[in-house]
Amino acid sequence: MPKVRVHNVTISLDGFVAGPNQREDAPFGDGVGWGDELHAWFVSASEDAAAGKTGIDVDFYVRGDQNIGATIMGRNMFGPRRGPWQDESWRGWWGENPPYHHDVFVHTHHLRPPLEMDGGTTFHFTDEPPEAVLRRAFDAADGKDVRIGGGAAVINQYLRAGLIDELHLVIAPLLIGRGERLLDNLGDGIEGYKVSEMVGSPSVTHALLVRR
């Protein structure tokens, strides 16, 4: 049966996935940059995977793309612009050929027409509730799994609703102190999960949460 999965979400020891004031010139907020201490393991694993190397970090990294047929993300992950779209010139962080190569459903209060990109990626902008978006994503995935790509607010929302089957967290050995936290205020939603794997590499610790 197809699953709802989250992969390669890196948090600091104090639970943050991004710093404050996320914006176009600082996608992860103040004090957090791509390739720095928080995401260095991911950059290294992606390079090693491309070179055919193996290892704990590479193995977890590769899992994140296996059998994925559709992705769900939040407006903030798609881009830095908030509120109504001033125009439709923003086409994502990834250039004209994003790495998804399937349908991507973007949660937003401000709709715009579907955005077809090179390589088979189409972004669909929706204000529907998670359950409805998930049904659309499963239809688009055509028997494969659906990935919740982020950011923290969307993952948190799907966790609270008990809709995620597997959540792969990567714990990096640093403190951020402020910003966007991942696992706050989950309430009773967290009671439906348990830790099924806990594996350390020289760089980070990988934890896999699954349904009980």
> Is 203 among the domain residues?
no
Distance, CA of 146 to CA of 2 (rounded, Å): 7
pTM above 0.75, yes or no: yes
> Is 207 among the domain residues?
no
Domain that holds residue 61: 4-80+98-181
Distance, CA of 52 to CA of 84 (rounded, Å): 44
How many folded domains does the chain comprise? 1
Q: Give pLDDT, residue 36.
A: 75
Distance, CA of 23 to CA of 116 (rounded, Å): 24
> Is 93 among the domain residues?
no
pLDDT band at 172 (very low <50, low <70, confident <90, very high): very high
Please give the full DSSP string across 143-195, using - where no structure is assigned: TSEEEEEE-HHHHHHHHHTT--SEEEEEE-S----SSEESSSS-GGGGGGEEE
pLDDT at 24 over 60: yes
Q: Give pLDDT, residue 133.
A: 98
> Is 28 among the domain residues?
yes
Distance, CA of 189 to CA of 201 (rounded, Å): 29
> Is 106 among the domain residues?
yes
133-168 pLDDT tens trace: 999 999 999 999 999 998 899 999 999 899 999 999
Q: Give pLDDT, residue 155.
A: 94
Handedness of CA 178, 182, 188, 191 (dihedral sign): negative
> Is 52 among the domain residues?
yes
Q: Which two tokens stand for residue 206?
A: 């990988």
191 vs 97: which has the higher pLDDT: 97
Distance, CA of 101 to CA of 3 (rounded, Å): 19
> Is 34 among the domain residues?
yes
Domain CATH code at residue 14: 3.40.430.10
Please tell me whether the peptide bond between 33 and the residue prior to it is cis, using omega within 30 degrees of 0: no
Out of 14-18, 112-116, 126-130, pick the least confident: 14-18
Strand 115-116 relative to strand 122-126, pairing: antiparallel
> Is 208 among the domain residues?
no
28-78 pLDDT tens trace: 766 665 557 888 999 999 999 999 999 999 999 999 999 999 999 999 899
- Judged on CB neighbours under 10 Å (0-12, 13-18, 19+), 155 is buried
